[in-house]
Amino acid sequence: MAIPTLDPNAPAFTRRCLNLADARLGAKAVAASDEFFAPKERMLEPQPAVFIPGKYDDHGKWMDGWETRRKRTTGQDWCIVKLARRGTIEGVDIDTSHFTGNYPPAASIEACNADGELPPDDAQWQMLVPPTALQGNQHHYIAVDDRRAFSHIRITLFPDGGVARLRVYGRPSLDASNTATASNQLVDFAAAINGAYVVAANNQHFGLASNLLMPGRGANMGDGWETRRRREPGNDWSIIALAQPGVIRKVEVDTAFFKGNYPDRCSLQAARVVGGTDESLITQSMFWPVLLPELPLRMDNQHFYDKELASLGVVTHVRFNIYPDGGVSRLRLWGEPA
């Protein structure tokens, strides 16, 4: 599997928002007009698209994405995606990586709100991205200015071709059924599906810090946050914006699959932040009060803490420190919403 990398040219919405079209979170490609050369499901894979020279299947060249046949009639190809969770959409990335002579000349994106797996025939589709020219083998980051919540999107190709990856960046709409507050259960404030996101991390060489917020336990050592080997004093850290303000009552630090490279120790700092920018938090976070004191970790193990937590009241952000470096699979921060 290719190691995800951060695109330094990507707009801010790709960092502060959740990819609502991430298959790991439950997003599904539910219908398409055509998928002759490559299935629609590949378009939602979380890892970057790859190109494998000389790899062919029964339909032709194997491509890592969704690819339709060459259209010989009028019309356009399309694919409907059910988002992982209903939410507001702030931007998209139509990625044509490795599609050069077979990318669509243009594409558009519409959205609707429906309860079922597939929207009804009379669904009210709203245009979020009008037909926009595309280039081959590149990302197309497009901001969206619409604050309504949607459950499905439809990408239309003009007229045909291939898209390697589709990312739909937004903020999940939370309700009692999502966060389990109706049954008096604790909410995981660090769950991406609830709206948590990584503000910053000092190093993400082997694995992205956003993996900490994914559901379930890690699939392997590549499915976690892992930093390079530190050769200088100090420690590695990541800052996480919680899904909503609340009081943290229980913490889990999971080092699944990290054995010879797990951190020796970890700690948490937390604060209630009002105003400012994400960038300003990096310096501020060094002085936040301690939520969890520096404690030892074990390899390939789930660590649970509750009595060790300080009483800081309502917080909105945490700084997760690992000493001195290494890899962590998941971070859970359960608490009571403010």
- Say if residues 167 and 309 touch (Cβ distance below 8 Å): no
Does residue 204 sit in the same domain as residue 282? yes
Does residue 259 sit in the same domain as residue 158? no
For range 330-336, the mean pLDDT:
98
Last residue of one domain, picked from the residues 146, 172, 198: 172
Residue 255 main-chain phi, psi, to 5 deg: -105, 30
Position 275 scores a pLDDT of 81
Does residue 139 sit in the same domain as residue 198? no
Answer yes or no: is 305 within a domain: yes
Position 277 scores a pLDDT of 77
pLDDT at 181 over 50: no
Position 184 scores a pLDDT of 62
Domain assignment of residue 297, given as a range = 177-337
Does residue 50 sit in the same domain as residue 138? yes
Q: Categorize the per-residue pLDDT at 182 as very low, low, confident or very high, splitting at 50, 70 and 90.
A: very low
Position 279 scores a pLDDT of 81
For the segment 93-117, what is each residue's pLDDT rounded down to a tens digit?
Answer: 999 999 999 999 999 999 999 999 9
Q: For every residue of the chain, which 3-state class applies, written as one string?
A: CCCCCCCCCCCCHHHHCEECCCHHHCCEEEEECCCCCECHHHHHCCCCCCCCCCCEECCEECCCCEECCCCCCCCCEEEEEEEEEEEEEEEEEEECCCCCCCCCCEEEEEEECCCCCCCCCCCCCEEEEEEEECCCCCEEEEEEEEEEEEEEEEEEEECCCEECEEEEEEEECCCHHHHCHHHCCCEECCCHHHCCEEEEECCCCCECHHHHHCCCCCCCCCCCEECCCCCCCCCEEEEEEEEEEEEEEEEEEECCCCCCCCCCEEEEEEECCCCCCCCCHHHHHCCCCEEEEEEECCCCCEEEECCCCCCCCCEEEEEEEEECCCEECEEEEEEEEC
For range 310-317, the mean pLDDT:
98
Does residue 87 sit in the same domain as residue 184? no
pLDDT at 225 over 80: yes
Q: Categorize the per-residue pLDDT at 185 as very low, low, confident or very high, splitting at 50, 70 and 90.
A: confident
Write down the pTM of the prediction. Answer: 0.87
pLDDT at 178 over 80: no
Answer yes or no: is 75 within a domain: yes
Position 183 scores a pLDDT of 44
Cα R_g (the chain), whole angstroms: 21
pLDDT at 150 over 70: yes
For range 273-296, the mean pLDDT:
92
Q: Which residues of 13-25 are buried (b: 16+ CB within 10 A; e: fewer)?
A: bbbebbbbbbbbb
The β-bridge relationship of strands 126-133 and 60-61 is unpaired
Last residue of one domain, picked from the residues 136, 151, 172: 172
For the segment 16-57, what is each residue's pLDDT rounded down to a tens digit?
Answer: 899 999 999 999 999 999 999 999 999 999 999 999 999 999
Query: Which percentage of the chain shows pLDDT scores above 90?
Result: 89
The residues pairing with 271 across neighbouring beta strands, listed in sequence order, are 317
**Rounded distance between C-alpha atoms, residue 63 and residue 102, angstroms:** 10
Does residue 266 sit in the same domain as residue 281? yes
The whole-chain average pLDDT of the chain stands at 94
Answer yes or no: is 303 within a domain: yes
- Say if residues 70 and 41 touch (Cβ distance below 8 Å): no
**Rounded distance between C-alpha atoms, residue 9 and residue 230, angstroms:** 26
Position 7 scores a pLDDT of 80
For the chain, the distance separating the N- and C-terminal CA atoms, rounded to the nearest angstrom, is 40
pLDDT at 152 over 50: yes
Q: The domain that contains 145 carries what CATH number? A: 2.60.120.260
Does residue 64 sit in the same domain as residue 188? no
Last residue of one domain, picked from the residues 130, 149, 172: 172
Nearest to 216, CA basis, from 243, 168, 254, 262: 254
pLDDT at 82 over 90: yes
Position 314 scores a pLDDT of 98
Answer yes or no: is 50 within a domain: yes
Tokens representing 313? 């009241």
- Phi-psi region at 36: left, alpha or beta (left = phi > 0; alpha = psi -120 to 50): alpha
For range 295-313, the mean pLDDT:
98
For the segment 158-169, what is each residue's pLDDT rounded down to a tens digit?
Answer: 999 999 999 999
For the segment 58-67, what is each residue's pLDDT rounded down to a tens digit?
Answer: 899 999 999 9
Position 8 scores a pLDDT of 80
Q: How many domains does the chain have?
A: 2
Chain-centroid distance of CA 181 in Å reads: 24
Does residue 24 sit in the same domain as residue 153? yes
